[in-house]
Every structure is written in C-alpha cells, then in structure tokens.
Structure 1
Amino acid sequence: MSRPRLGYGTNGLTDLRLDDALTLLADLGYDGVGLTLDHMHLDPLAPGLAARTRRLAHRLDTLGLSVTVETGARYVLDPRRKHGPTLLDADPDDRFARIRLLIRAVRVAADLGAHAVHCFSGITPPGTDEDTAWQRLADALGPVLEAAEDTGVPLAVEPEPGHLLATLAGFHHLRRLLGDPAPLGLTLDIGHCQCLEPLSPADCVREAAPWLRHVQIEDMRRGVHEHLPFGDGEIDFPPVLHALADTGYQGLTVVELPRHSHAGPELAAQSLRFLRDGGTR
C-alpha cells in the first residue's frame, strides 16, 4: 500500500506562531500543512499579504512542506459571528465579503503552490427556503470558480454537518446545479463520513474518488460532530487508508483537530505515528 502524504492543520496549532508550527511539522516528518488563513496564521485581511505570502512560500520550500489552503477560520470576517458571514446570507454585501475572502484564498494558494483551496457552504439562515439557499450558494461560488480556473487551483468544497451542503449527496447536487465545472472538487472529511454518511468512511472515499481534491482526517463517533484524536472515536482506519491508496489520491491527507490546539505539538506527533503505522488501534 502506498503511503499517504500527511499534513497537519494549523487550526490545531493556534497556540504556536506559524513559523514554529511549520518547523514542528517538518521536524516530525510531515509532508505538508493544512493552512487555515486566520489572524494568527497568514491573516488574509492584514496589510502586506502579498509580501507575507512570498516569505511563507519560501519558508515552505525550505522546509520541504507542501500545502493546502483552508478557509474555515471561525471569526476572521466577523468577531461576533462564528464562520460568518457565509455564502448563504440574505444580505448581498455579506455574501460578497465571503466571496472576496475565498477569491483571496485562491490567489494565496496559487502563490504558495497549494494543491487546493477548501471551503464550505455555511448554515442556511432562518427563514430561507432550501431552493433559495442552493441558488445563493451556486451564484456565490461562480466568481470563486472563475478565480480557480484562472489560477489552476481547484476549489474543494467540504460537506459539513449542520450546513446546507452537509453530505456527499449535497456535493453532487451542487455539482449538477453548477453544470459540473472543472475547477469544482471535493474536500472529504473522514470523521464527517463516520458522523452522518450512509456509507462507511472507506466506501465514501471510493465513491468520492473522481472529485477528491483534499482530505481531512480525525476520529469521530456516529451522530456526534466532534473531532477526536485517533483512538477516541469509532472509525476503522486501515480500510480508509487502503481506500485512499487504491484511488490514487495524490493530495495531502490533513489531520484536523481544531479544538485541541492546547495539546497540538503532542497530538501532531501521536497522529503521525498512528497514521504511519497504518491506523491500527
């Protein structure tokens, strides 16, 4: 079985400076990093983004780390609304703030040589019917997909529990709604598959393979959306790792533990050992 290319998400290392986090991951032996654009790690709204991105690209190259860009920062756009504003908000100006952030993320990703940009739909606002929400999502993603096409960096949409686009079925609905554009890909979170998909996580990997552009991985329990360290949930990982190898997926498989930053360095080391050992409990 070919070894997956493993990364660790900076949203699980928020107590570390970005350069310290990158150095840690390189020293541990990770192949790359899932970089969440946030105020503590390459702030996408602070001045001098282009220069900071160039310096980061050089540092990643020096450390031998590949990268994917993630856009799930909780309060980067609004200090009072978690993940707000979203692509589904009723106010066009609010939707545009998220669109602008995603386009900026695509351009940062291109400058870093990232293999994908991750995003998600957001929660359907109260009083918004489902058809309206899907149309807002499709319309909002149009300019982001244009930027992805222009830069050659795919946009990898993540099914997120509780969001409008929550499942693989939702991803396929969006894909058909948009006319199956080439830059549109999928972020598959293995824990989310365990949480709510009808298929097993390994079968989800196989079903998603043609559109797979980014993978996140952690443990989880059925019906409970809580990202857990490996061994604390219910996932059978060897079949998942075999399925990823069988599909020929070449991107990063990024450990996603955003609520465990207090123990980030230790968990980064433990997670790498677990996955390198084939995911055996």
Structure 2
Amino acid sequence: MTPKTPAPRHFAAPRADGDLHGTDSGPSAEPATAPVADAPAVTPLRFGYGTNGLADLRLDDALALLADLGYDGLGLTLDHMHLDPLAPDLAARTHRLAKRLNALGLEVTVETGARYVLDPRRKHGPSLLDPDPEDRARRVDLLIRAVRVAADLGAHAVHCFSGITPPGTDPTTAWHRLADALTPVLEAATTAGVPLAVEPEPGHLLATLADFDRLRRTLGDPEHLGLTLDIGHCQCLEPLSPADCIRAAAPYLRHVQIEDMRRGIHEHLPFGDGEIDFPPVLAALAATGYRGLTVVELPRHSHAGPHFAEHSLPFLRNAEAAATRTPVLVPLHGDPSATPEGSTS
C-alpha cells in the first residue's frame, strides 16, 4: 500500500445560530422559500474502533469483526498481541497487514499507548520524560518504528503522548526532555509524510490543549506536529465544552478518539454511561472539515470488546444523524452471549 500524504484541510466555520441539534416547532420554523438544494452537503464522519479494546481477539479476527460491523477503520495499537513492533520481520508483517486492510476496505491510525510493550513491569514505561537517556531513547525508537509502520500502512497519523512527569523532575526539565525526544520523531514523520498526533492525557505532563499549544510553540510549530483529541478527556478536565474544544483545536486535528466520560473522573465509559451530549460534539467535528478517523477508545472493556464494538457504531451514527437533523434509526443488535463483566485494568 502506498503511504498517504495527508491532503490540506479546509476548516469550515461553525453555524452562526449555534443550534446544533434543535427541533422544529412547526411549519413556520423554516422559511417556506428556502431551497432544499442550497443546503450544504455534509460529508459523513468516519468511525473506527481501537484494537486496545479488542485485546482478547487475534488481530485478523478483530479486523474481520470491524469490517462486518461497518466501521470505516481502526486505531491500531502496536502491542505484543497486535503487530508487535519489537518482534522480528516487522516490515514483512506490516506488508501483509496492509494487504489485509486494503482487502477489507479499512483505514487505520497507528497508536502507541500499549501498556507494557517496552517494559513488562512499568505501565507505559519508559516514557519520553524518563531520567535515563537510554530509556528515553527506547521510547523514541518505538515511535520512529510506529512512523515507519504508519507509512507502510498508509495510516493518516501516528498517535503518542508525553508520559507522566517522573518524581523529582521539575517541570522545566520535563518540558526540555519532551521537546528533545520528539525532535527525531518529527524528523522521521516529516520524511515519511505522516503527521505525529500528540494526545493530551490527564495526569501527564502534556495534559490539556493549552499544554499542546506550549509544545507546538516550543518546537516552532512544525508542519507534521498535530493533535490527537480525546473527546472524553475534554469532558474530564478542559475548561471548554467538548464541542468548543473541537472548534479550538480544529487547525491541528489529526486524530480523534471518542468515548463517554464524566467531569473530573478519568474513566473511559461506554456511550450513554457518562455525561457527554454527543450530537453537538459530532456536529462540531463535522464542521471542522476533519476527515480522519474518529476512533472509539475503550481499552478497559476488552473482556466484552465485540459487544461494545457492535453497539458503539449505531450509537455514533444515530448521534451524527441527530446532529444534522436527519434522524436515521439504526437498530441495536441483540445482547452478547455473555453478560459484560466489570472493567479490568
């Protein structure tokens, strides 16, 4: 598969009336003379599902499931069970995967949030902020491998995050480490033509949109530095609403993750279990002109991954339809054979 160079994006302004999902009160709610043909065409959003929420499935089984359910693509977390980035013959395995994705018609984003892929004892360790330069270099190497995989798969972005500030490390030192560590990764991304999409993560050094802006300015606003926006994280800790976060981040959006969440609690929840009003969120996202994948992010629900994958897409499509005032009822499938259990870490 030939690597894709992201096309320039043109960002549309949000609707002036601010009404993203209102209802008509009667025939007089819309002008009788308004020509239907003049209504702007809306390009449907493209939804994917994260393989970190299907960790109990073989990768090929996960791909077949998502294709059968009607997903447009997937967020592929490089991990020991799904395209191990450290095992031999990575290029050959990536080539085979590219052919499979092409046959199934699935798009892909490469994600790098595997918990123990580098260290079996330290979750997400080592990070880009590790005090040991050799440990930081291991994380950098992983990200550069991810960029190469993304290029070979034709992925539209590579996701990453900063990591938690190590104990005893002052913020200035941590920010210097992050900028230095990301420089060779951005060089690789520029060479490959694949955007690097940094995710603000609650509890990390780079936790908010304001932190992303700081990194962008520090690095000189490089072309291939973009943003992964997690909608739940916006609900969790941003001062703006999730829809306003999308509008603020629009010029830098390269990857979007989505799930439900509650204010002040960093817990990824199935849709309907949190506090997010999704039609305004999806309306705002569509208005930006974003054409990458919007990937369901439920990493702690792999015990019932097929169930949540099956139910998430109809929810999102119905929310998208509500956002555009053209409801299309998509029936939910029946319950899975096993009742979903509690989430696991």
What TM-score comes out, normalization by structure 2 length?
0.81
Matched, 1:207 2:248: yes
Provide runs of 4+ in structure 1 moved above 2 Å. Answer: none
- Name the structure 2 match of 1:165: 206
Q: Does 1:117 align with 2:158?
A: yes
Q: Match of 1:188, as an amino acid?
A: L
The equivalent residue for 1:87 is 128
Question: 2:304 — aligned with what?
Answer: 263
Equivalence for 2:100: 59
- Counterpart residue number, 2:226: 185
Query: Is residue 229 from structure 1 mapped to residue 229 from structure 2 by the alignment?
Result: no
Instruction: Give the AA of the match of 2:158.
Output: V
User: Alpha-carbon deviation of 1:16?
Assistant: 0.3
Gapped regions of structure 1 (runs ≥ 5): none
Structural mapping, 1:1-281, within 5 Å: 1-278=42-319
Q: State the shift of 1:186 in Å.
A: 0.1
Q: CA deviation at 1:225?
A: 0.3
How many angstroms apart in 1 are the aligned matches of 2:121 and 2:310? 33
CA distance in 1, matches of 2:104, 2:62: 11
Q: Which runs of 5+ in 2 are unaligned?
A: 1-41, 323-345
Alpha-carbon displacement from aligned partner over 1:205-264 (angstroms, at most 9, x marks no partner) = 000000000000000000000000000000010000000110000000000000000111
Aligned equivalents of 1:2 and 1:15: distance in 2?
A: 33
Query: 1 CA distance for matches of 2:251 and 2:170?
Result: 30
Identity among equivalent positions (%) equals: 82
2 CA distance for matches of 1:150 and 1:70? Answer: 19
CA offsets 1:96-130 (integer angstroms, 9 cap, x no match): 00000000000000000000000000000001000
Q: 1:24 offset after TM fit, Å?
A: 0.2
Higher Cα radius of gyration = 2
Paired with 1:62 and 1:18, the residues of 2 have a C-alpha distance of 15
Question: SS of 2:250's equivalent?
Answer: helix
Give the aligned CA root-mean-square deviation in angstroms: 0.7
Shift of 1:10: 0.1
* Separation in structure 2 between the aligned mates of residue 221 and residue 4 of structure 1, nearest angstrom: 24
TM-superposition CA deviations, 1:119-167 (whole Å, max 9, x none) = 0000000010001000000000000000000000000000000000000
CA distance in 2, matches of 1:148, 1:158: 16
Structure 1 letter corresponding to 2:183: G
Q: How many residues align?
A: 280
**Distance (Å, rounded) in 1 between the aligned partners of 2:165 and 2:44:** 38
**Secondary structure of the structure 1 residue equivalent to 2:222:** coil
Query: Aligned to 2:300, what secondary structure does the other structure show?
Result: coil
**Aligned equivalents of 2:207 and 2:215: distance in 1?**
11
Deviation at 1:2, TM superposition (A): 3.1
Tell me, what secondary structure is at the counterpart of 1:107? helix
Letter in 1 for 2:230: D
- Give the drift of 1:3: 1.8
